[in-house]
Amino acid sequence: MKYKLLGNTGVKVSQLCFGTMSFGDSADVATSTAMFNRCREVGINFFDCANVYAGGRSEEILGDLIADCRDEVVITSKVFFRTGDDINAGGGSRRHIQRAVEDSLRRLKTDYIDIYFLHSFDVNTPIIETLRVLDDLVKAGKILYPAASNYAAWQVAKALGISAKEGLARFACIQPMYNLAKRQAEVEILPMAQSENIGVIPYSPLGGGLLTGKYGTQRRPDAGRLMENSMYQTRYGPAIYYEVAERFTNFARERDLNPVSLAVAWAGTHPAVTAPIIGARNLDQLAGSLQAIDIDMTPELRAEISALSPEPPPATDRLEEK
């Protein structure tokens, strides 16, 4: 396992981050524990979580697992999505974040969260309010670094400008969606992160299962997230994604490579990326993603794989100047 500096912080994180969205959901406590231990064995020190995963259960399970190694792991959590029926139980307000961070700390059984993500941009809360409460939480030692997930590049850039002007803790990391089927981040988000030296931990390197080899233009598994979860069915609805999956799976098989490992390695080797967040529901699934670190992803191999999916048009629309 290699370790990298997270953006312009002095924190070293493993080249793979393990996502705990399955904890308490598709993975019970025993399976979650086995996956966590396997990640630790291979040297992963970086674990992604969120307050809404399994209704808070994921944080509780992760909290139990880190109890005897808290100082050796870098953990994240997130705030924004609704945690209850109350009208204010969500968003980026001081009122909600202050409540939510205390709830997360209690479930995680820790007194600090290393990286605290805004899970989505809040159009209703002035960004200065959100940045101020995050800065206060940094000063109080409850979070170490503020971060943003699912933000457009301009939203991050706007926040960075305000943080600099007001002397507030800046976003240290972003968490965009990024995989061979979903490459929008290449247009503005990843170049922005490189320019600003922000850590990047992209999620869904397998497209939620799309790129694992079990999906194709005519092929579907009996069960799986894209078969069962309507949010993911919408996200990966267009036929083009299944065409990419088909081409990619064939490409991997022709070279005797596991598509799971290859897809994670592809996402992890964009020059802006610090560590892709891998996801699994059991140890068997996890094995393929862990083997990504053994793939020799040369620039030529990466370019060949990239050519299997449509490249998103440039932000300026001046195709002739590419």
Residue with Cβ nearer ligand NAP (212 or 249): 212
**Does residue 51 touch ligand NAP according to CB under 6 A?**
no
- At a CB cut-off of 8 Å and minimum separation 6, what does 91 contact? 80, 122, 124, 125
Q: How far is the CB of 314 from ligand NAP (least distance, A)?
A: 25
Q: 259 near 249, Cβ under 8 Å?
A: yes
**Per CB under 6 A, which of residues 270..289 are in contact with ligand NAP?**
277-281, 285, 288-289
- Closest distance between ligand NAP and the C-beta of residue 283, in Å? 10
Q: Which of 206, 244, 245, 290 binds ligand NAP (CB under 6 A)?
A: 206
Q: What sign has the CA pseudo-torsion 214, 38, 31, 84?
A: negative
Say whether 151 is catalytic: no
Dist CA 133 CA 16 (whole Å): 30
Q: What is the rounded CA–CA span in Å between residue 298 and residue 251?
A: 15
Amino acid sitting at position 7: G
Beta pairing partners, 46 = 74
Closest CB 318 distance from ligand NAP, rounded Å: 31
Identify residues 99-128 at the interface with ligand NAP (CB under 6 A): 119
Judged by CB under 6 A, which of 107, 170, 225, 270 binds ligand NAP?
A: 225
Is 90 among the residues that bind ligand NAP (CB under 6 A)? no
CA distance 22 to 26: 5
Compute the least distance from the CB of residue 20 to ligand NAP, in Å: 6
Instruction: Rule CB under 6 A: say whether 212 interacts with ligand NAP.
Output: yes
Residue 31's alpha-carbon distances to 154, 213, 225, 276, in angstroms, are: 39, 23, 18, 21
CA angle 41, 43, 45 (to 5 degrees): 115
Q: Interface with ligand NAP by CB under 6 A: which residues?
A: 19-22, 48, 119, 149-150, 175, 203-209, 212, 214, 224-225, 260, 277-281, 285, 288-289
Catalytic residues: 53
